[in-house]
Amino acid sequence: MEIKQSLISNNIWWNNQKINSEFLLGRKRNEFDEIIQKLEEKRISAIIGPRRVGKSTLIYQTIDYLLNVKKIEPKRILLFSGDDPSLFFDEDDKLSDVLEVYFDEILCEPMEKLTQKVYILIDEIHFIKNWQNFLKVYFDRKYNIKFIITGSSSVHLYKDSNESLLGRIENIYVLPLTFNQFLNFYQTYVQQEKDIEIPKFDFNKPEESFKKLEKLYYDKNLKIKIKSILAEYLIVGGYPEYFENRNLQLWQKRLAEDIISRGIYKDILTIYDIKNPDLLEKLMYYIAANNAQTFSYSNIAKDLKVDTTTIMNYIRYLKQAFLINILECYSTNMGKVIRMNKKLSVLDNGIKNSFLKRQTLDSQEEGKIIEGMMDFDIRLLTEKEGYGQYYYRDNKEEIDIILDRKIEVVPIEVKYVNQIKDNKMKSINKFIEENKDRKIGKTNYGIIVTKDTYQKQENLYYIPYWLFQI
């Protein structure tokens, strides 16, 4: 199929001036608003996230917005995919060939003389050879074009583009749904009710945020509803496809075969020269079975009977593909940070349970999953705000998460049990006391993420996980 005909076939809104409803779904992710806010910015918008998390749906929802809200002329919106064989069959096919046909034969306007903006959306751009060099040229020539691109991981968009697109590209991370997002999707697709509004915790105003949650905490009907949905989320995780068919057995099969295996083999093996691909899956299973625990790379290497350098590289690949999370130990001594063990967790709890073939959870397993979910929630915040995320260990003192907001440091401890003993707060209280007088990065308060306890004791805020939205 020639390029022109392929583009006409894929961009159906050029003829019918609308997006077919099956591409739009009934719910927009929070990241949609972020994409819309950046539509008029000159920088390239890069939508980054693992496969099947909803990036393509966001692309179609963006086109729908351009057509119906911005009233953009349909032919000024171009979409194509980097893995479309009709456009990129071999390495000789270039990004410039596609754009040349679009501007010369479809839009019939020269690229350098555009009077009105053109929106070019490229899905899975990493499959196109030298894509970053072409985009750099178009960007630097200041053409009246807004580029929006997607990639399945930071591996794809950073391996070859760090220097060439420096200062020209801005990232929008689309990861599995947080519990708050899952809660709203559930309201739309299952209960068909309006969203449950839980205010986000403002780390700048902890006292004010804490008081806002009080009314919600004492609403018994609301608590029962939210905790019921949370129990489902703990098992199935945050991939939006789950709502297409809420059959747990089928869902875990899809996670294992499509998102995990293909994510590992397609998203990582296409970028790096992996000599032992089976090791990636073994490593994922190892982390899932010991979720939210600390490890030394050398011990993992010994257990899996490979060298330490290989383990270090493979763990880095899994993080860049948004399959796992890695926390360093918090310390003002960088030498200690490097020497200390790393805390590893699977990013999505549904993937973790699928690996372990687990369809029910005991209380201990729930606690570990909640700790991993908090790691994930904080990682989203740090990716967006440029904060630091760590765990803390000093002799026998341990704290699950340290959120380094630069202006202050917030210790966060997960105690997902029915009763919390005061002596279990020794480590976090000591940390606050030791860091309260620092000029930079001082600690003013701590947060205890609980199962159902809601209270304040001195400078510690106890907040149930189902109420703690960030």
Q: What is the pLDDT of residues 197-234, one digit of tens each?
A: 889 999 999 999 999 999 999 999 999 999 999 999 99
Question: Could you tell me the pTM of the whole model?
Answer: 0.88
Domain ranges of the chain: 3-173, 180-467
Q: What is the 3-state secondary structure of 366-424?
A: HHHHHHHHHHHHHHHHHHHHCCEEEEEEECCEEEEEEEECCCEEEEEEEECCCCCCHHH
Confidence of residue 129 (pLDDT cuts 50, 70, 90): confident
Phi-psi region of 469 (alpha: psi -120 to 50; beta: other; left: phi over 0): beta
Q: What DSSP line would sit under 347-363, residue for residue?
A: S-HHHHHHHTT--S--H
Confidence of residue 192 (pLDDT cuts 50, 70, 90): confident
Q: Retrieve residue 148's tokens.
A: 């929006």
Could you tell me which residues are beta bridge partners of residue 47? 150, 172
Q: Give the highest mean pLDDT range of 5-9, 83-87, 92-96, 328-332.
A: 5-9
How would CATH label the architecture of 3-173? Answer: 3-Layer(aba) Sandwich (3.40)
Of the two residues 359 and 130, the one the predictor is more confident about is 359
Q: Is 65 exposed, middle or buried (0-12, 13-18, 19+ CB in 10 A)?
A: middle
Q: Is the pLDDT of residue 264 over 80?
A: no
Q: Is the pLDDT of residue 240 over 60?
A: yes
| Lowest-pLDDT choice from 91-100, 198-207, 211-220, 243-252 | 91-100
Mean pLDDT score of the chain = 89
CA distances from 183 to 194, 197, 230, 326, 465 (A): 11, 10, 8, 26, 13
Q: What is the pLDDT of residue 318?
A: 87
| Lowest-pLDDT choice from 4-18, 144-158, 364-378, 412-426 | 144-158
Three-state DSSP at 135 gives helix
